[in-house]
Structure 1
């Protein structure tokens, strides 16, 4: 499946577009690629694009007092970017780095806003996408505040087992708010339970 076919499949899951709407919308997405270790966005820059990831893995993280904290991951079939910076066109205070080579499509802020104004179906897609993001953020807040380390680990294992094959353990440990040694111990324990 090509990048544009993959994008179409993901968009149409939320909001089907007419043939003419899709034609106008799809030509505004342009290809991009990143090599492992390259940044999609760095803190202090303004996010000018909204991204669709066809293949590859990215991590979102921030730095504080010389320490990196992972806040999320994006991979095949997901959207990415410093969305808060993109929407308000102010500088990002976090980073997105490629954990592998990444290939995808991107649309500029100006083009996406024009498409929201031009087509109710595109605006609906944006609304439903934003709703999914807000729901995910709410769940993540509860997870961080109210779940034990073991519960966070078990939830990640249950909801996203594939991520253990995509993302290095040290980044998953940071995302879950635990030391790499704790993560490793929990992973070994979970593997012995399934054997």
Structure 2
């Protein structure tokens, strides 16, 4: 059921840096390993609604309805800009070193969840991606797509956890210098803003 082509293609897709990767890395750098794990889990679970919508055919609505697509798209844009602004506001070294204390892990996971669920391109991606690896001879295409989607989610979680581990490894170097920490956080904030602008200009 799982072809080598599917596994390799999925790995390449997952490794490509996007908003989820950026969020997980920034969380690992500034809030630590545990926080990055929750961020990775949130981003991964944010894939599930898009995957399920694709399997059930609901993503056709986004593809055919300009209004539905625009509503979801600009909700995603607003959220990315919100994250960028929040990160830009807190650029002191003290805020970074103490930011993980009292920070709800559920809140971090939920933010990661929203990043993916508010990206209409993700739903359309699954609609185009998964059917390519469903054998024509199968009698249960929906089940086959569900298995493929769950494997994709598992690979996403594994890669994102790895990104979080690597980010946490560099954490002491970043937090050891308030200037570097401030520069890094503002760089992440600017990148989130650019990703929001890119999504705003995206077409179906």
TM-score (norm 2): 0.30
**Higher strand proportion (structure 1 or 2):** 1
**1 or 2, which has the higher helix percentage?**
2
- Under a length normalisation based on structure 1, what TM-score does the superposition of the two structures give? 0.32
Q: Which has the higher contact order (CA 8 A, sep 6+)?
A: 2
